[in-house]
A and B are shown apart, each in its own frame.
Chain A
Amino acid sequence: MTGGQLEIDTISKRYGDVVALREMTFEVRAGELFGFVGSNGAGKTTAMRIAMGVLAADSGEVRWAGRPVDLRTRRRLGYMPEERGLYPRMRVGEQLVYLARLHGMSAADARRSVDALLDRLGLTQRRDDIAQALSLGNQQRVQLTAALVHEPDGLILDEPFSGLDPVAVDVMSEVLRDRCADGIPVIFSSHQLDLVERLCDRVGIVKDGQMVACGSIDELRSGAPERLLVDAPAAPAGWADGLPGVEVRGRDGTHTMLELRPGADDQQVLRAALDTGPVREFARRRATLTELFRHVVSADGAGSTHGKEMAA
């Protein structure tokens, strides 16, 4: 078990008049897979670049294991930048060994680590290829290898899944889970919310440079409105109108999707449905991350009341 926890503490960054980050605060715990989601331009990449020290924050602090991050600690993190970066004309194996050695590994350890990872990611055949000759998917795998090659104590990955085929997504997911199981914190950003929901222990939703919701999926759900799916084939349109605390969200054939505000009585809904005739299906639907995300992001202002568990 590692003692490492990555803390992003009230980081702010502005470019001229544009506020990129506004007192962003969250932490990624040891052994935790943290999903970082948000619209394009919300500030995810900026936050990650600041954490990796390739961009300076205007204010705030990034801490690792309780101490401000410096080059020494950063060397122990693995990073996958948003803009993929490899030497285009250098052989895959050589550049990975080089990167591992820049992080302080001995030549022998570096070669061993590179061989093991290339094997794991199915790239052994590509070891002596130059980077620019690889397919985009393989380049992405090499990029992940570059983040992992020095056996880091923490991972910061900017959209590691973008552009990967389903098989590669599985491999990538497995690798990330394994690293978490080793007890290191892993943070990655993604627009594939179903994937984030499936994979992550905790999720942070960013909007306009601020963390607007942060916690496990269940925690995020707790404040969101509940949904009910009712299949009442004989029900006329508008059958649920007027039920207290209930709003019709949509109708698809005989199915009606309802949203219940906190405190609304689902049994009353069931009775109303039965009044129209048979009820074939009556199901509570747990909000997906996509729904939670839409809900949080479409809400006005940052002071939304939805289940957020802001990290201290």
Chain B
Amino acid sequence: MSTGTNDLTEPGVWPTVGLVASRELSVRLRSKSTRIATLVLMVIIIGLPVVLKLVTGSASTENVGLTGATASLGTAVQASGQAAGQHLNVTTVSDQARGEQQVRNGKLDALLVANGHGQLVAVVKKTANKGLTSAFTVLAQQAVFSQQITVLGGDPQRVRAAVNDAHITVQSLEPAYKYQTQQLVLGLVAGVLIYLSLLVNGQLVAQGVVEEKSSRVVELLLSAIRPWQLMVGKVLGIGTVGLIQMVVIGAAGIVTGLATGVLTISVSAAASTLAWLVVWYLLGFFMYATAFAGLGALVSRQEEVSGVVTPAMIFVIAGYVLGATVLPTNPANPIIETLSIIPVFAPTLMPMRLSMGGVPGWEAALAVALVLATIPLLVWLAGRIYRNAVLRTGARVRLSQALRAA
């Protein structure tokens, strides 16, 4: 039997936090819902490039057939396709009937024939897609153009060459970043991942706090360890679970993207996207989860959790929604640029911008620094709320009360 005078072993401060964190980790990793959620996200993220590949693979090239009467238009059709931004594969068929047969069975997307009046007619199965329609419109306009020039006594060839050469020189005062569609998509995906992860894991932290409160186990725990150790341990433990999810899901997505060829960015760019994703997930999680832990301590029942964390959750949602709606069409929006440096919005907006590219180094560094400075402040504040509220079960503790109490 131990004696009252034995060395009163106090485990170090951090080993205790580690114990709390590892309990969270093992409980969450074994929980079915965590595994299912991770799996579902992974399937989505792996499925996305595959689906994109299938969709874009079939839509990128249209097959156009020419008959004997229109065969001379081959070069012009190609050129119109180029002008309209639609890649065309031009073939010649032996006669109109056979061509129509091919349109019917899908070998051709359109068959270009000339009607009795010498006008061009595009024969399609049901409808022509947008790219094809534009290409044919350009083709028809060119034909009319040439005709009119000839009527006016000019040389259509020369006019076309001159028109093609005409351009205006754009002089940029500041170098503009050339955004690539792929990176924009990558940014959106990064945004969704961070957003979902903050939402789900942040909520888990608040629920975990309330679980300990409603089951009253917190009283037993706090007779042995300090409130902040319990709070920080919980945040670290659940944060690690989220980190594992993020790395697994992010890596799966990027590897699939590169493997299917949907992503053609360099491996180093992909790695940096993943690295930034992880950095911003961690920053965002520790900032928000700490706040959620403090807020969660105010209530005693699971049903009250969403009500109490919503005010903080709004910032996560607002950041993501703003980014997802504005950035794809306007990646250099100055308002978003400013917001992405402000700590409450940075965790959702900055990783989107970073994945899209073109973020000046100082902006990225400033955003990180500001969040890093905010976290200790939040830990202190949330720790105070938590300490004062976590042992008060029953009615919801008012925030002002929790902040005031000694």
Taking Cβ atoms with an 8 Å cutoff, the residues of A that contact B are 1-4, 30, 49, 52-56, 64-65, 71-77, 79, 81, 83-90, 98-99, 101-104, 146, 151, 153-154, 182-184
Contacts and interface: CB of A to CB of B under 8 A. Distances in A.
Interface residues of B, number: 31
A146 B220 contact: yes
Given A65-B5, A146-B220, A102 B215 contact: no
Greatest chain A CB density within 10 A among B1, B217, B221 is at B217
B391 A83 contact: no
A112 B385 CA distance: 37
Given A54-B391, A102-B221, A102-B225, A151 B1 contact: yes
- Dominant SS at the B interface? loop
A66 B34 CA distance: 49
B174 interface: no
Interface of B: 1-5, 8-11, 16, 19-20, 23, 27, 211-212, 215-226, 391, 393, 406
A98 B233 CA distance: 13
26 contacts: A2-B3, A3-B5, A4-B4, A49-B219, A53-B222, A53-B223, A54-B223, A54-B391, A64-B4, A65-B4, A74-B223, A75-B224, A76-B8, A79-B223, A83-B219, A86-B215, A87-B212, A87-B217, A98-B19, A98-B23, A99-B220, A99-B221, A101-B19, A104-B9, A104-B10, A182-B1
A238 B5 CA distance: 63
Contacts of A98: 19, 23
B219 A85 contact: yes
Contact of A54 (B11, B20, B212, B219): B219
B1 A73 contact: no
Nearest to A77: B223
B215 A72 contact: no
A54 B215 CA distance: 16
Given A71-B10, A76-B8, A102-B19, A86 B224 contact: no
Contacts of B5: 2-3, 65
A104 B11 contact: yes
A6 to B, nearest CB: 10
Contact of A3 (B1, B3, B9, B19): B3
Contact of A74 (B16, B20, B218, B224): B224
A72 B219 contact: no
Contact of B226 (A1, A64, A71): A71
Contacts of B224: 71, 74-75, 99, 102-103
Contacts of B20: 102
Contact of B8 (A73, A83, A85, A101): A73
